[in-house]
């Protein structure tokens, strides 16, 4: 395929505190990883590379084959690294030769609708180097020191970054080869390499399951709304 999705699922889930890797924590009868993959496989056809925690590659493959349906031949599983950036690099190394567009997606954003994948792909297809789904910032944000408020930051200049973040494959590969430090996300890494990243509409359902409260929110959402 011309498109690939790297689903990074190799984190330990410290902040969720579920006693095991976050990707395998249940939302309902299905795990966070399974929910993420169901939506990935409902998006346009792509190679799907799951980056799993060391020792859990087999579990990740089982989940992926169940979610893939007739797309099982498009699934690969690789072992993650110590940081998210290292995990993405492992995923990049597993891409097939014909892939031209790469989306990098957090498994922890388990309820991200397939339409977001479509918007990101359409943006790269239209000639952009990178695409980042964002949501407006609702809170008033202040620049502060340890003790003092400096000033408010203009909300119109801010956005909350989500995934899947999409890139031309050649640009993402080159940016990762040249990365000499840890970046907050792939858009920052590609931006630092000198490429423009275009903004597309994110979705509130793409929130990242980070804390126990986020998991509760995911549970009530799947209990009340299908996909």
Binding site for Mg ion (CB under 5 A): 11
**From ligand CTP, Mg ion, none, interface partner of 202 (C-beta below 5 to 8 A by class):** none
Query: Which residue in 201, 161, 205, 203 sits closest to 185, CA to CA?
Result: 161
Nearer to Mg ion, 11 or 202 (CB): 11
Cβ at position 207, least distance to ligand CTP in Å: 11
Nearer to Mg ion, 11 or 166 (CB): 11
The string over 148-161, giving b where at least 16 C-beta atoms fall within 10 Å of a residue's C-beta and e elsewhere, is: eeeeeeeeeeeeeb
Applying CB under 6 A, does 37 fall inside the site for ligand CTP?
A: no
Nearer to ligand CTP, 37 or 74 (CB): 37
For tokens 């909300």, the residue is 155
Applying CB under 6 A, does 9 fall inside the site for ligand CTP?
A: yes
Applying CB under 6 A, does 210 fall inside the site for ligand CTP?
A: yes
Nearer to ligand CTP, 62 or 143 (CB): 62
Cβ at position 19, least distance to ligand CTP in Å: 12
For tokens 């498009």, the residue is 74
Query: In the structure encoding, which two tokens stand for residue 194, read together?
Result: 């000198």
Applying CB under 6 A, does 92 fall inside the site for ligand CTP?
A: no
Applying CB under 6 A, does 208 fall inside the site for ligand CTP?
A: yes
Cβ at position 103, least distance to ligand CTP in Å: 14
**From ligand CTP, Mg ion, none, interface partner of 8 (C-beta below 5 to 8 A by class):** ligand CTP
Please give the residue ranges that form the binding site for ligand CTP (CB under 6 A): 8-15, 22-23, 51, 80-84, 87, 106-108, 208, 210
């Amino acid at each position: 395929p011309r498109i690939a999705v790297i689903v990074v699922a190799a984190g330990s889930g410290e902040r969720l505190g579920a006693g095991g890797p976050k990707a395998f924590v249940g939302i309902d009868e299905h795990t966070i990883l399974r929910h993420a993959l169901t939506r990935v496989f409902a998006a346009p056809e792509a190679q799907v590379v799951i980056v799993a925690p060391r020792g859990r590659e087999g579990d990740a493959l089982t989940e992926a084959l169940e979610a893939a349906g007739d797309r099982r031949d498009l699934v690969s599983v690789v072992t993650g690294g110590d940081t998210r950036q290292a995990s993405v690099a492992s995923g990049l190394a597993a891409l097939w030769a014909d892939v031209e567009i790469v989306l990098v997606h957090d498994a922890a954003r388990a309820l991200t609708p397939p339409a977001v994948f479509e918007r990101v792909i359409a943006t790269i297809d239209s000639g952009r180097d990178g695409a980042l789904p964002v949501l407006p910032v609702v809170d008033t944000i202040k620049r502060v020191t340890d003790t003092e408020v400096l000033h408010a930051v203009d909300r119109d200049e801010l956005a909350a970054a989500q995934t899947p973040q999409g890139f031309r494959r050649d640009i993402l590969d080159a940016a990762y080869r040249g990365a000499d430090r840890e970046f907050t996300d792939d858009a920052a890494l590609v931006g630092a390499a000198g490429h423009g990243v275009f903004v597309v509409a994110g979705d509130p359902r793409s929130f990242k399951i980070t804390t126990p409260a986020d998991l509760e929110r995911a549970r009530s959402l799947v209990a009340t709304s299908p996909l």
